[in-house]
Amino acid sequence: MTARFFPKRAPPPTPASAELRYLALLLFPDGRTHTVDLGPAEPIDQAALRLQEALARRNTDVLAVAQSLYALAFQPLMPLLGDSRRLFVSPDGQLTLVPFAALHDGDHFLADAFEFTYLTSGKDLLPRADGSPVSRSVVVLADPGFASPTEELAQEGEAVAVQDGSAPALRRFFSTPRSELADRPWPPLPGTRQEAKAIQHLLPEAQLLLGHEATKTALLSLRAPGILHIATHGFFLEDSTPSADLTRTVAHFGAVGDAGPARSPDPLLRAGLVLSGASAERSPPGVTHEEAFLVTALELSGMNLWGTQLVVLSACDTGRGDVKLGQGVYGLRRALVVAGTQTVVTSLWKVSDEVTSELMERYYRHLLGAQGRAMALQQAMRELRQKHPHPHYWAPFISIGQEAPLLRAIRSEGSALK
């Protein structure tokens, strides 16, 4: 677990003098704890940003960049880790957007030595006491019909209403023209249809929502499927000029160094998914064009996913969001945890849908073999790496939350589960 902090004995920080530092807190099964001051946050954050860029752009110098971050943020922990190989990581700052498996010690990627599971907080390790029955149904939403026929889109009507106080903010958000999304070309994702078919081959009971059935209404109407797999485009809008019309609708959790409630638009309104109808000529009556096909993280947070064991976001940029000091990432991953899902698998950068499809098929095969949710992903990554050595291809996905195998009775690989 890592956190950014101000030195305890330093004078009260000011905007001009504050120096954040990274502290690693190590918790062991036998109750031992250790803390390691990793040093100033600035060089670590900059190294993390460089690695993010090198991974996303398939840079040839990725090994050197990965070694640089390893030396700053992970090597100081090695003497304390001993023989530990299974690590639960709750990072802070820019480290939340880095796959630790892609760090390099000079000889090997850390994927060769460790199994990483990411946590939103330490409470992810505790058994849930919500009492929700575990669902065993499977829903796969993929290959949306971005150029949905006008008549089919019109039949969709208004999207499922949000039942909490966030509805006014959503109306303000969707009433504001957003040419950066509405005018963006959303290319079809034929590889995601193949991905969905491959999953259904392994899980014959899976319900597929493909093409023009992959709508916002269909998604928000779901009630706690056991597995929810979404393969489409994701988006994240960088913070813009503060607006009085769009105020934060999630609670402001005071963190060290915060100057007060944020004035910028809610980050859960700036991250989301693109579904059927993105390129349609018109929208349903009473619904803006963006509202018809964009699903924001805020809307996803209002879903009922208590009892959902796994949500896989097999889409571009679904792991991104606003990095908040001491609070993790505000985006799709946080929204789905708030909605109740036990585990979220999400991506940190854009990868071709063909490569993603191959990784996902391998992932589900290992899940069927009763491997843990993080272990199955790690094994799929290792196999894909033999074909695609650059970590751009095999390291974009991370598993956040519960690690245990899915609660499903396996008869045989590829057969129906009960």
Average pLDDT of the residues in 161-167: 52
Average pLDDT of the chain to the nearest whole number: 80
Distance of alpha carbon 283 from alpha carbon 301, whole angstroms: 24
pLDDT interval class at 324 (50, 70, 90)? low
Question: What tokens appear for 266 in the block?
Answer: 């809610």
Q: Identify the structural domains of the chain with CATH numbers, from first to last.
A: 2-118 (no CATH), 138-401 (3.40.50)
- Stretch 370-386: mean pLDDT: 96
Higher pLDDT, 413 or 395: 395
Q: Which residues pair with 273 in a beta bridge?
A: 234, 295
Residue 159 three-state SS: coil
The whole-number pLDDT of residue 279 equals 55
Tell me the C-alpha distance between 164 and 133, whole Å: 24
Instruction: Find the range with the poorest average confidence among 4-13, 214-223, 327-336, 408-417.
Output: 408-417
Chain-centre distance of CA 308, in angstroms? 16
- pLDDT score, position 260: 38
pLDDT confidence band for 170 (50 / 70 / 90):
low
Q: 138 in helix, strand or coil?
A: strand
Which residue's structure tokens are 């004078």?
11
The predicted-structure confidence for 146-155, as pLDDT tens digits, reads as follows 874 544 444 4
- Separation of alpha carbons 340 and 132, rounded Å: 10
Q: What is the pLDDT of residue 415?
A: 35
Of 262, 251, 265, nearest in space to 176 by CA: 265
H or E stretch at 360: helix 353-368
- pLDDT of 199 higher than 70: yes
CA distance 340 to 342: 6
* Residue 236 confidence (pLDDT): 82
| Residue pointed to by tokens 């078919």 | 197
CB–CB of 210/143 below 8 Å?
yes
Distance CA 297, CA 6 (A): 31
pLDDT at 146 (0 to 100)? 82
What would the pLDDT profile of 35-45 be if each residue is shown by its tens digit?
A: 999 999 999 99
Average the pLDDT over 295-310 and give the result.
Answer: 93
Assess contact for 406 and 374: CB atoms under 8 A.
Answer: no
In angstroms, the first-to-last Cα distance of the chain is 37
Residue 332 has φ and ψ, to the nearest 5°, of -65, -40
> What pLDDT is stored for residue 8 in this prediction?
53
Q: Which segment of 24-28, 284-288, 382-386 scores lowest on mean pLDDT?
A: 284-288
Buried b (16+ CB within 10 A) or exposed e, 93-111: bbbbbbbbbbbbbeeebbb
pLDDT single digits (tens) 107-149: 999 999 999 999 987 777 777 766 667 788 999 999 999 874 5
CB of 145 closer than 8 Å to CB of 116: no
Task: Say whether pTM exceeds 0.85.
Answer: no
